[in-house]
């Protein structure tokens, strides 16, 4: 991969250019997974001052984009631009809503689903976009994932299917058996309880529209 730029406490990176990389989605996900594990190790070793615990949020998207030297004749950067880049940035910010650390888009999921355990998180329309996208949390390589992680992913997917089909009571029953400390579980507990009190309209398609970045 290429480290594109540092933006405050953020890093932007891309795969597939300047050299072709047919495994760009896999390599991006593996880099994210290794970052997550390394940060957990550093937190455990308490390497930060005053026992600070650091958290990360990563968004990964795949798609067409413009790549090359952008700028003017005297000042330019080799970088990537386009809607696909912007979506990756939006996905990073969603981690705060669901309590996750690595969120991938459906285009990435389609390329890595056989090699990584992922769980569906939501169907969202990010700020500035009307076309919804299904998002997933990356839970790790299949070879490393525990049975509990695989079961959690499966049960969450069953719950989400019921949720999309407006079976909120059925989704609620499944949610009540899941870890209460998981923020995404709390998100859906709140949604299902609210929809049972105030059912959505006939045209409801399950898309969660985000008002902020």
Segment-wise mean pLDDT, segments of 10 residues, the chain, 213 residues: 92 93 96 96 90 93 93 90 91 94 97 97 83 94 94 96 96 93 95 95 88 65
Q: What strands, in cross-sheet order, belong to the sheet with 208-209?
A: 58-60, 102-105, 133-141, 116-125, 208-209
Distances (CA, A) of 182 to 2, 98, 176, 185: 33, 8, 11, 5
> Which pLDDT does position 182 carry in this prediction?
93
> Which pLDDT does position 61 carry in this prediction?
97
List CB contacts of 26: < 8 A, sequence separation 6 or more.
111, 112, 115
Residue 109 burial class via C-beta count within 10 angstroms: exposed 0-12, middle 13-18, buried 19 and up: buried
Give the span between the Cα atoms of 18 and 96, in whole angstroms: 32
Distances (CA, A) of 209 to 92, 123, 127, 146: 16, 9, 8, 33
> Token match 């597939």: residue?
16
Cis peptide before 119 (omega within 30 of 0): no
User: Does the global pTM surpass 0.85?
Assistant: yes
> Which pLDDT does position 94 carry in this prediction?
94
> Which pLDDT does position 213 carry in this prediction?
61
> Token match 């079961």: residue?
151
């Amino acid at each position: 991969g290429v480290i594109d730029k540092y933006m405050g406490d953020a890093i932007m990176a891309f795969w597939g250019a300047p050299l072709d990389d047919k495994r760009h989605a896999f390599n991006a996900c593996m880099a994210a997974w290794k970052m997550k594990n390394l940060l957990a190790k550093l937190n455990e070793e308490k390497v930060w001052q005053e026992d600070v615990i650091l958290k990360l949020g990563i968004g990964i998207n795949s798609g067409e984009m413009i790549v090359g030297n952008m700028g003017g004749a005297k000042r330019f950067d080799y970088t990537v631009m386009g809607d696909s880049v912007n979506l990756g940035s939006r996905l990073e910010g969603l981690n705060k809503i669901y309590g996750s650390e690595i969120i991938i888009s459906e285009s990435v999921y389609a390329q890595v689903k056989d090699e990584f355990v992922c769980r569906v998180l939501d169907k969202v329309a990010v700020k500035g976009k009307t076309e919804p996208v299904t998002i997933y949390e990356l839970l790790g390589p299949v070879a490393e994932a525990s049975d509990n992680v695989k079961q959690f992913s499966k049960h969450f997917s069953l719950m989400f299917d019921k949720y999309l089909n407006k079976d909120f009571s059925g989704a609620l029953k499944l949610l009540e058996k899941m870890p209460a400390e998981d923020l995404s579980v709390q998100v859906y507990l709140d949604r299902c309880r609210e929809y049972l009190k105030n059912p959505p309209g006939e045209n409801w398609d399950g898309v969660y529209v985000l008002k902020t970045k």
